[in-house]
A and B are shown apart, each in its own frame.
Chain A
Amino acid sequence: MLKEGELRIPSGCAISGIIDKEGKRFNGDEIIKSIALMHDRSNGLGGGFAAYGIYPQYKDFYALHIFYDNLSIKMQTENFISKYFDIESAGNIPTKSVLGVRNKPLIWRYFVHPRNYMVKDGFVDEAEFTSRYVIKINKEYKGAYVFSSGKNMGTFKGVGYPEDIGKFFMLDTYEGYMWMAHGRFPTNTPGWWGGAHPFTMLDWSVIHNGEISSYDANRRFVEMYGYKCTLQTDTEVITYLFDMLVRKHNIPMEKAIKVVAAPFWEDIERENKEVQNELKSIRSVYASALINGPFSIILGFEKGMIVLNDRIKLRSLVAAEKGSRTYVASEESAIRIICDNPHKIWSPQGGEPVIALLKGEQK
């Protein structure tokens, strides 16, 4: 019989992320290799990737990636999109047949720009306009699901093991400066194409290992600010929380992190008056945005990647650096297989973020 320390029960989701802070682009092979190593942390019911910098030729357009259940809903949704957006280009997302990836929906991609006069009439900016209509499609068009809506980035996800999903979407043909991957072990929700990670809103994308016990408190909070959680899953709400805090409320990212993984009260009491006041204000005003329960998340956005554990580190997470690259993964081996000699490797503490931004970007 194996003794304590020799026994390992593989379970839980897998996450992996790579960013080149110099902005150098590279294809999806490495991220597939990294996530494939953690095969046992998935169960074949979901895998997905987010890639940033992949559409330089369309960098000023929102790239809408959409799953459709059938042609009829596709036509209805396209009518809707063309009413509010100028469509620069449209087509299905190239895929190839892979054993283990079945029952695929219609997978389409549109490069769009919000109609200028409508944006002006709505007294909102382009991002807010786009997010509102993305939410509207997800909420009102049954059988259509916008799973990616950012600029110069895209997500690729589905039901299957992540390495199979990566091959299915031919990620080796894309080049980006940042890649994130997720292998899913769903229990709360069925494995369906829309339910795979990442979840996105504009250029925010979140992959997540864990289960958020604060979900309904967070959900009911963000829904007061115009969001609608339609996907029965906690990862969606994390995406909206960051979108709300950073984009809508204009809160610096470092402070937003203190909202979702707030310092403990006993730690706040040890700070000087000014810091105390700030942290108390954050905990008072955004109490309902605190994320609770076990999680390790990678939050991707245009400027880089934020990686975060829950406050008491109930999920595994390792980070490493080499040259201009930062790596994170659920397991150290998933980093070492693509980066054999990192100059720094560490396990971030609970609530302590790893912030890896593109060169020149401010925290």
Chain B
Amino acid sequence: MSLDFNSPAFEVIRDEKKCIQCQVCARQCSNKVHLYDEEDNVVRADDIKCVNCHRCVVLCPTKALVIKKYPLEFKENANWTDAALKEIYKQSQTGGVLLSSMGNPKSFPIYWDRMLLNASQVTNPSIDPLREPMETKVMIGRKPEKLEFDAKGKLVTNVPPQIELSIPIMFSAMSYGSISRNAHESLARAATELGICYNTGEGGLNRDFYKYGKNTIVQVASGRFGVHKEYLNAGAAIEIKIGQGAKPGIGGHLPGKKVGEDVSATRMIPVGSDAISPAPHHDIYSIEDLRQLIFSLKEVTAYKKPVFVKIAAVHNSAAIASGIVRAGADAIVIDGFRGGTGAAPTRVRDNVGIPIELALAAIDQRLREEEIRNEVSLIIAGSIRNSADVVKAVALGADAVYIGSAAVIALGCHLCRSCSTGKCNWGIATQEPELVKRLNPDIMYKRLVNLASAWNHEIQELLGGMGINAIDSLRGNRLMLRGIDLNEKELEILGIKYAGE
């Protein structure tokens, strides 16, 4: 092969005065960046292998390590950026599709940060959540157009099955396979303690986790890995995954090396075989086909489980969402282009799809115009970073949000965006037993509980500040939002006024 033109992405800087040659860094780094040189009794670093996961930095007992962007600079060029050049070097060397992990990292506007929330003052006083009840529970599921009561005032309408979420947050779909067993268990246990749901992703459900069923959303993706009657009935709801924000229009691929015995049994595929989820479902080529799958799943679960349909946020999401409601889904999940993934083609990740904020606003508005918004729950995903994002999402029209990246960050992920290597030093996106062990579910589930509880407190504070004591009253309450640094078209799509109006 020809000469590799790529330079390291990061430089590992070791403060020799602080380093005590304890070799923790060498033992912790699954990428073999740090190596102990016995002869010179010194630990050295191979910069080119570093993915900047911070494991060594965080665990270094003397804080002797710093990782910086590699100082080599190309001649200044606003068009041919460093990244553009490096990608060409890489592709001209390998002839392959570039792969990236996690969501779109490009500098598109983050609309959450261009929306500001309201606060009550004199005429409508704020409510103190420390003194007054503050409700953040939401009910996810299909709703009838209206309730009916008999002559004696007794309810006669049977409301379809609902999922009660103590807070409007769930953990996004991450399959056992793409993330480790311990990460999976941490999510399941945290969801159970919090009274919310986590999502199996497309990899089936390990039997050891059936006990968390009440807090589990089981996914049916195009590969149908691990899908059987018992699995479908094990969870609280079923999610049909059509698309994913990080890679709209693209299927999935779990490399065979991640398919050990346990993953193999869960997915119902041979050990070591690649698990390929096709881009489309083999039986869905129209909205009518989708309807048939929705009702097949309802049949098999005796109409006791809500069925969600998850799509990526794309140009015509609003029209698609309308079709999904009419196809009988109980909830629609919209995943924006900042959504995470184990691996996606870089070009797809960075260029396909639209921001979740705009998709959500457009969908909520369209469904209202068609007078069907109240029939379905709307869940959004794709880089919800904090409680304010959640509050703004609800005000724009969401019933609940999924968090994926934020959840794995709580578990230790430092967003080094190298999940596809399977060498996650934090024991999250890996199946290597030694790495998996690093993530102790007994400890780590509490971090997830802490995160969601902290956000819940903040949501309550923000609600109280707006003079609202039930999150129901925030849903679609766009008067609580004002735009800043947005043009008229953006304001129109978001359906909000400009700050000062």
**CB-CB contacts of B445-488 with A at 8 A, as 1s and 0s?**
00000000000000000000011111011111111100000000
Most chain B beta-carbon neighbours within 10 Å: one of A218, A277, A287:
A287
| Neighbour of B472 across the interface among A249, A254, A281, A283, CB < 8 A | A283
Contact in complex: A287, B472 (CB < 8 Å): yes
Q: How far is the CA of A266 from the CA of B476 in the complex (A)?
A: 24
Confirm or deny: B385 has a beta carbon within 8 angstroms of a beta carbon on chain A: no
Q: Which residue of B lies closest to A213 (CB)?
A: B467
User: Interface size bucket, A side?
Assistant: 35 or more
Contact in complex: B159, A284 (CB < 8 Å): yes
Task: Count A-B pairs with CB separation below 8 Å.
Answer: 127
Chain A residues with Cβ below 8 Å from B133 are 264, 266, 312
Contact in complex: B149, A224 (CB < 8 Å): no
Q: Quick check: which of B123-131, B170-178, B265-273 contacts chain A, the rest being far away? A: B123-131
Contact in complex: B153, A288 (CB < 8 Å): no
Q: Report the minimum CB–CB distance from A309 to chain B (whole Å).
A: 13
Contact in complex: B477, A264 (CB < 8 Å): no
Chain B residues with Cβ below 8 Å from A285 are 143-144, 146-147, 157, 159, 374
Confirm or deny: A251 has a beta carbon within 8 angstroms of a beta carbon on chain B: yes
Confirm or deny: A60 has a beta carbon within 8 angstroms of a beta carbon on chain B: no
Q: Quick check: which of B99-107, B134-142, B310-318, B428-436 contacts chain A, the rest being far away? A: B134-142
Contact in complex: B155, A278 (CB < 8 Å): yes
Q: Report the minimum CB–CB distance from B208 to chain A (whole Å).
A: 31
Q: How far is the CA of A214 from the CA of B133 in the complex (A)?
A: 16
Contact in complex: B371, A314 (CB < 8 Å): no
Q: How far is the CA of A220 from the CA of B473 in the complex (A)?
A: 11
Contact in complex: B147, A283 (CB < 8 Å): no
Q: Which residue of B lies closest to A278 (CB)?
A: B155
Assess A292 versus B153: contact at CB under 8 Å? Given A265-B137, A284-B162.
no
**CB-CB contacts of A184-198 with B at 8 A, as 1s and 0s?**
000110000000000
Q: How far is the CA of A280 from the CA of B473 in the complex (A)?
A: 16
Q: Which residue of B lies closest to A254 (CB)?
A: B153
Assess A211 versus B124: contact at CB under 8 Å? Given A216-B479, A284-B143, A292-B469.
yes
Q: Which residue of B lies closest to A289 (CB)?
A: B472
Contact in complex: B467, A293 (CB < 8 Å): yes
Confirm or deny: A294 has a beta carbon within 8 angstroms of a beta carbon on chain B: yes
Confirm or deny: A346 has a beta carbon within 8 angstroms of a beta carbon on chain B: no
Q: Which of B146-175 contact A (CB under 8 A)?
A: 146-149, 153-155, 157, 159, 162
Confirm or deny: A207 has a beta carbon within 8 angstroms of a beta carbon on chain B: no
Q: Which of A199-224 contact B (CB under 8 A)?
A: 210-218, 220-221, 223-224
Q: Report the minimum CB–CB distance from B162 to chain A (whole Å).
A: 6
Most chain A beta-carbon neighbours within 10 Å: one of B143, B475, B476, B477:
B477
Confirm or deny: A26 has a beta carbon within 8 angstroms of a beta carbon on chain B: no
Contact in complex: B148, A188 (CB < 8 Å): no
Contact in complex: B477, A217 (CB < 8 Å): yes
Q: Which residue of B lies closest to A253 (CB)?
A: B153
Contact in complex: A314, B125 (CB < 8 Å): yes
Assess A311 versus B476: contact at CB under 8 Å? Given A187-B123, A287-B139.
no
Contact in complex: A284, B141 (CB < 8 Å): yes
Chain A residues with Cβ below 8 Å from B241 are none
Chain A residues with Cβ below 8 Å from B135 are 264-265
Contact in complex: B476, A213 (CB < 8 Å): no
Chain B residues with Cβ below 8 Å from A254 are 153
Assess A311 versus B147: contact at CB under 8 Å? Given A210-B124, A264-B135.
no
Contact in complex: B479, A215 (CB < 8 Å): yes
| Neighbour of B468 across the interface among A214, A221, A223, A280, CB < 8 A | A214
Assess A288 versus B144: contact at CB under 8 Å? Given A281-B157, A281-B159.
no
Confirm or deny: A63 has a beta carbon within 8 angstroms of a beta carbon on chain B: no
Confirm or deny: B247 has a beta carbon within 8 angstroms of a beta carbon on chain A: no
User: Interface size bucket, B side?
Assistant: 35 or more
Chain A residues with Cβ below 8 Å from B93 are none
Q: Report the minimum CB–CB distance from B392 to chain A (whole Å).
A: 14
Confirm or deny: A80 has a beta carbon within 8 angstroms of a beta carbon on chain B: no
Confirm or deny: B368 has a beta carbon within 8 angstroms of a beta carbon on chain A: yes
Q: How far is the CA of A213 from the CA of B395 in the complex (A)?
A: 12
Confirm or deny: B283 has a beta carbon within 8 angstroms of a beta carbon on chain A: no
Contact in complex: B124, A213 (CB < 8 Å): yes
Contact in complex: A217, B473 (CB < 8 Å): yes
Chain B residues with Cβ below 8 Å from A265 are 135, 137
Q: How far is the CA of A265 from the CA of B164 in the complex (A)?
A: 11
Q: Report the minimum CB–CB distance from B106 to chain A (whole Å).
A: 33
Contact in complex: B147, A293 (CB < 8 Å): no
Contact in complex: A283, B473 (CB < 8 Å): no
Contact in complex: B479, A312 (CB < 8 Å): no
Contact in complex: A311, B469 (CB < 8 Å): yes
Q: How far is the CA of A188 from the CA of B473 in the complex (A)?
A: 19
Confirm or deny: A357 has a beta carbon within 8 angstroms of a beta carbon on chain B: no
Q: Which residue of B lies closest to A311 (CB)?
A: B469
Chain B residues with Cβ below 8 Å from A57 are none
Contact in complex: B467, A292 (CB < 8 Å): yes
Most chain B beta-carbon neighbours within 10 Å: one of A225, A280, A284:
A284
Q: How far is the CA of A43 from the CA of B143 in the complex (A)?
A: 44
Chain A residues with Cβ below 8 Å from B73 are none
Assess A294 versus B132: contact at CB under 8 Å? Given A214-B477, A285-B159.
no
Q: Which of A267-291 contact B (CB under 8 A)?
A: 277-278, 280-288, 290-291
Chain A residues with Cβ below 8 Å from B141 are 284
Contact in complex: B139, A284 (CB < 8 Å): yes
Chain A residues with Cβ below 8 Å from B149 are 250-252, 255
Contact in complex: A288, B472 (CB < 8 Å): yes
18 contacting pairs across A/B (C-beta < 8 A) = A213-B466, A213-B467, A213-B480, A215-B479, A217-B473, A217-B476, A220-B476, A224-B371, A224-B374, A280-B162, A281-B155, A282-B147, A285-B144, A285-B159, A288-B374, A293-B124, A312-B469, A314-B125
* Chain B interface (Cβ < 8 Å from any Cβ of A): 120, 122-125, 127, 132-133, 135, 137-139, 141, 143-144, 146-149, 153-155, 157, 159, 162, 368, 371, 373-374, 466-470, 472-480
- 7 A-B pairs with the lowest CB-CB distances in the bound complex, closest first: A214-B473, A292-B473, A216-B479, A211-B124, A213-B467, A287-B472, A217-B477
Other A-B pairs, 4, CB within 8 Å; known A213-B120, A213-B473: A224-B368, A250-B148, A281-B147, A294-B467
